[in-house]
């Protein structure tokens, strides 16, 4: 069964797409946690970070160069931003189609809500 993101990539579900090429699609998160919140998604489905193959190295690198370019385009590169990949239950992954969150446009605070102790 297609994931939500595969349906967005295929144009079957609406999304605010900000970038697309033959390897990746980027669109704004439907529930933005920051003024800029973009999801950068491989066009081919990789379920989680655990499922990245050795032959996906170029694709994974491309996710990051697209994130870099979008950060610049959004005007958040200089002040800074955060890139997040959630994996499985403890990582808080909601959609099982690998994606990089690009978040910025305000100070994002500490990496996690609270320290370990
Ligand atoms: P995850 O927790 O899997 O790393 O993040 C999934 C993200 O997808 C969440 O931030 C959530 O708001 C976003 N999301 C879920 N459904 C949709 C949707 O239908 N459209 C868009 N644009 N984003 C979605």
Q: What is the DSSP string of the chain?
A: ---HHHHHHTTSS---EEEE-SSEEEEE-SS-SSSEEEEEEESS---SGGG--GGGHHHHHHHHHHHHHHHHHHT-TTT-EEEE---HHHHT--SSS--EEEEESS---SSSSS---
Amino acid 43: pLDDT: 98
Average pLDDT score, the chain: 96
Residue 102 contacts residue 67 (beta carbons within 8 Å):
yes
Amino acid 113: pLDDT: 81
Nearest CA owner, ligand 1 atom 16: 30
Amino acid 95: pLDDT: 98
In tens digits, the chain (117 residues) has pLDDT values of: 789 999 999 999 999 999 999 999 999 999 999 999 999 999 999 999 999 999 999 999 999 999 999 999 999 999 999 999 999 999 999 999 999 999 999 999 999 888 787
Amino acid 56: pLDDT: 98
Does the pTM surpass 0.95? The reply is: yes
The Cα–Cα gap between 41 and 71 comes to: 15
Count of other CB atoms within 10 angstroms of residue 73: 13
**Atom nearest to 4 CA in ligand 1:** 19
Nearest CA owner, ligand 1 atom 20: 30
Assigned CATH topology for domain 4-104: HIT family, subunit A (3.30.428)
Amino acid 2: pLDDT: 86
CA of 41 to the centre of ligand 1 (A): 11
* Of residues 32, 59, 31, the one with CA closest to residue 45: 59
């Amino acid at each position: 069964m297609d994931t939500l993101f595969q349906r967005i990539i295929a144009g079957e579900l609406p999304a605010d797409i900000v970038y697309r090429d033959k390897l990746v699609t980027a669109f704004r998160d439907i529930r933005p946690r920051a003024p800029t919140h973009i999801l950068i998604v491989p066009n081919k489905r990789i379920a989680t970070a655990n499922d990245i193959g050795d032959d996906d190295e170029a694709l994974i690198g491309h996710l990051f160069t697209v994130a870099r370019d979008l950060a610049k385009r959004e005007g958040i590169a200089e002040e800074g931003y955060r890139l997040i990949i959630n994996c499985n239950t403890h990582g808080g992954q909601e959609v099982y189609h690998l994606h990089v969150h690009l978040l910025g446009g305000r100070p994002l605070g500490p990496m996690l809500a609270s320290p370990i102790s």
